[in-house]
Amino acid sequence: MITLADGRLHVAGAMTMATAASLLQGGMSQLAQASGGVDLSAVAEVDSSGLAVLLEWARELGRPLAVVGAPASLVALAALYDLDDLLGLVPAASA
The number of angstroms, rounded, from the C-alpha of 7 to the middle of its chain's C-alpha atoms is 14
Distances in Å between the alpha carbon of 30 and those of 11, 75, 84?
12, 24, 23
Residue ranges of domains in the chain: 2-94
Helix and strand numbers (H, E) in the chain are 4, 5
pLDDT at 85 over 80: no
pLDDT tens for 42-68 read 999 999 999 999 999 999 988 888 899
Domain 2-94 belongs to what topology? Transcription Regulator spoIIAA (3.30.750)
pLDDT tens for 22-47 read 999 999 989 888 888 999 999 999 99
Distance (Å, whole) CA 13 – CA 42: 6
